């Protein structure tokens, strides 16, 4: 009985965690509160984990039986194990860099760094939860660094009433930030376009080549890497993320980072 109860503990923990994540992803997709890629991708491994928890004893017996027979079955198990370990290692490495870049200091420069705020979804003309966090972080930074100019970057998607840049502008101005400190970049649809068009504004307005990028913390590493590729010297001011939005966006970012470095 004691052995049985101990064997049930990992199954219950894995099953509960996988079920909670699946419920979170499904909810986000239904209410449209997050980009679908992370949620859809997340449901696949979580579904496998849930099945593993339910059928754990049978899975272990099957693996042991396949392993005893030399041949293609054992080779397949080795390939799967290598794939899983590689995925885990890459995820850990990417996560470490996400943490390192979340609030990285901008390098010293003759001119004050430009605050670049990256856009995010606008819903019914109002900032989404993720975008509002970026706006609040940008406001705090601009208040504590009154010499800094700011570029608000984000175009208008097909399901958005106004551009993301305009939404951020309206919010910051209504909160007391002087309009003359703000520049709008409202053409971009991707992170690379965000930063490319912002650099064009910085060059045109002679604002220097140093920036502080404001986006959600999990997005800082990829954003700063792209900015460096474009010739910007940058740091970051990471915005917080609501806990219920973190899993899907984190998984989406893991995929995006891997894609960026491969392609």
CATH number, domain at 211?
3.40.50.620
At residue 35, the pLDDT reads: 58
At residue 70, the pLDDT reads: 78
Residues 177 and 220 in one domain: yes
Q: What's the per-residue H, E or C state across the chain?
A: CHHHHHHHHHHHHHHHHHHHHHHHHHHHHHHCCCCHHHHHHHHHHHHHHHHHHHCHHHHHHHHHHHHHCCCHHHHHHHHHHHHHHHHHHHHHHHHHHHHHHCCCCCCCCCCCCEEEEECCCEECCEECHHHHHHHHHHHHHHHHCCCCCEEEECCCCCCCCCCHHHHHHHHHHHCCCCHHHEEEECCCCCHHHHHHHHHHHHHHCCCCCEEEEEEEHHHHHHHHHHHHHCCCEEEEEEECCCHHHHHHHHHHHHHHHHHHHHC
For the chain, the domain total comes to: 2
Residues 174 and 209 in one domain: yes
Does residue 195 fall inside a structural domain? yes
Does residue 184 fall inside a structural domain? yes
At residue 9, the pLDDT reads: 87
At residue 6, the pLDDT reads: 54
Does residue 255 fall inside a structural domain? no
- Of the three residues 55, 72, 101, the one that is the final residue of a domain is 101
At residue 62, the pLDDT reads: 95
At residue 33, the pLDDT reads: 67
At residue 31, the pLDDT reads: 79
Residues 75 and 129 in one domain: no
Residues 89 and 144 in one domain: no
Does residue 148 fall inside a structural domain? yes
At residue 41, the pLDDT reads: 84
Residues 26 and 62 in one domain: yes
At residue 143, the pLDDT reads: 98
Residues 95 and 7 in one domain: yes
- Per the structure, the complete domain to which residue 33 belongs is given by 2-101
Residues 71 and 168 in one domain: no
Residues 60 and 151 in one domain: no
Does residue 252 fall inside a structural domain? no
Cβ 74 vs Cβ 66: under 8 Å: yes
Does residue 222 fall inside a structural domain? yes
Does residue 224 fall inside a structural domain? yes
Task: Profile the chain (263 residues) by mean pLDDT over runs of 10 residues.
Answer: 64 94 90 72 92 94 91 93 95 97 96 97 93 98 98 94 97 98 97 98 98 98 98 98 94 92 81
At residue 42, the pLDDT reads: 87
Residues 139 and 226 in one domain: yes
Residues 139 and 202 in one domain: yes
At residue 262, the pLDDT reads: 82
Does residue 239 fall inside a structural domain? yes
Residues 67 and 118 in one domain: no
Residues 91 and 153 in one domain: no
């Amino acid at each position: 009985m004691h052995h049985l109860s101990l064997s049930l503990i990992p199954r219950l923990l894995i099953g509960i965690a996988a079920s909670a994540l699946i419920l979170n992803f499904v909810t986000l997709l239904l209410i449209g509160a997050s980009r679908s890629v992370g949620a859809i991708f997340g449901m696949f491994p979580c579904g496998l984990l849930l099945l593993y928890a339910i059928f754990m004893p049978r899975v272990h017996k099957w693996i042991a039986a396949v392993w005893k027979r030399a041949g293609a079955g054992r080779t397949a198990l080795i390939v799967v194990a290598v794939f899983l370990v590689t995925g885990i290692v890459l995820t850990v490495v990417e996560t470490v860099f996400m943490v390192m870049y979340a609030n990285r200091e901008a390098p010293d420069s003759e001119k004050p760094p430009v605050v670049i705020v990256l856009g995010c979804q606008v819903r019914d003309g109002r900032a989404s939860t993720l975008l509002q966090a970026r706006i609040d972080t940008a406001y705090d930074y601009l208040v504590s660094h009154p010499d800094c100019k700011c570029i608000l970057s984000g175009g208008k998607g097909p399901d958005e009433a106004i551009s993301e840049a305009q939404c951020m502008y309206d919010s910051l101005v209504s909160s007391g930030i002087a309009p003359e400190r703000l520049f709008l970049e409202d053409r971009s649809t991707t992170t690379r376009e965000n930063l490319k068009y912002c650099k064009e504004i910085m060059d045109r307005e002679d604002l220097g080549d140093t920036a502080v990028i404001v986006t959600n913390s999990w997005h800082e590493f990829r954003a700063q890497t792209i900015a460096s590729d474009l010739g910007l010297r940058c740091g970051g001011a990471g915005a917080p993320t609501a806990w219920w939005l973190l899993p899907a966006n984190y998984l989406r970012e893991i995929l995006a980072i891997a894609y960026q470095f491969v392609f």
